[in-house]
Amino acid sequence: MIRALFQLLLDYRCLSMTYSLYYAPGAASMAVHWMLIELDIPFEAQLVDIKAGAQHTDGYRRLNPSGRVPTLIVDGVARGESAALLMLLAERHPAAGLAPAPGSADRAEWLELMVYLANTLLPAMRDWFYADVDGDTAGADAVKALARKRIEAAWDKLDRCLADGRHYLVGGSLSTVDFLAVMLMRWSRNMARPATTWPHLSPYINRLRELPSFIELNAREGLTEWVN
């Protein structure tokens, strides 16, 4: 009886949470969009037309002063940063098991990889794609060359993580690390050495692309490349 009541309270808490995601197809919002679909919870999705400059409008800037995606409205408050949003959603929906519980054996590795992806790989990707926009165009080639080295070093690191035969990057189940990592791996698809060319990353990517939530994500965002 007590357990059933507790579950009802949890279900009510989840139902009372409201989310609205501002996203652009294939952009940094993709991991958050994917996680929301995997959680199978109600949310609104608002398309931000980056090509038309919608991220720079006054209305959007009031939500996200950086003019980037994602923005996630959480119970009426605008929040940003992909990695932080993934961790927040995992904390708000612990029953989904998309992050190791505090004190568990896999918690430290999960924290380490989330911070690594956010602090090392995401900025390197930014440098690769926007070197000639964010900085001096005269030095863009050097910035991109360094970014490529950092990106490929990240694939080396993640490939080693998977060398022991695990199916996911942390522990034995899907987590926020996988959402973020696979999104970033997708971004490498047109690079000279995409993530799919690493021996352990390739089957890992194929497995995650088979998930119903990933297939649904691509359908909702209208993406047809980099699918199984």
pLDDT in tens, 128-151: 999 988 888 888 999 999 999 999
Specify whether the CB–CB gap between 224 and 183 falls below 8 A: no
In single-letter form, the type of residue at position 58 comes to D
In single-letter form, the type of residue at position 101 comes to A
CA gap 148, 142 in Å, rounded: 10
Confidence at residue 9, expressed as pLDDT on a 0 to 100 scale: 41
Confidence at residue 137, expressed as pLDDT on a 0 to 100 scale: 86
Q: Which two tokens mark 195?
A: 């993530």
In single-letter form, the type of residue at position 40 comes to D
Residue ranges in the chain whose pLDDT is less than 70: 1-16
- CA proximity to 162, closest of 145, 135, 181: 181
Confidence at residue 14, expressed as pLDDT on a 0 to 100 scale: 47
- pLDDT tens track for 83-102: 999 999 999 999 999 999 99
Confidence at residue 136, expressed as pLDDT on a 0 to 100 scale: 84
CA gap 188, 64 in Å, rounded: 26
Judge: domain 107-218, CATH 1.20.1050.10.
yes
Residues 6+ apart with CB under 8 A from 68: 28, 55, 80
In single-letter form, the type of residue at position 199 comes to P
Q: Which two tokens mark 1?
A: 């009886």
Distances (CA, A) of 68 to 3, 22, 71: 43, 10, 8
Map out the domains of the chain as residue ranges: 2-96, 107-218
Class of domain 2-96: alpha beta
Specify whether the CB–CB gap between 176 and 114 falls below 8 A: yes
Stretch (H or E) spanning 2: helix 2-16
* Cα three-residue angle 123-79-52, rounded to 5 degrees: 70
CA gap 189, 74 in Å, rounded: 32
Confidence at residue 7, expressed as pLDDT on a 0 to 100 scale: 46
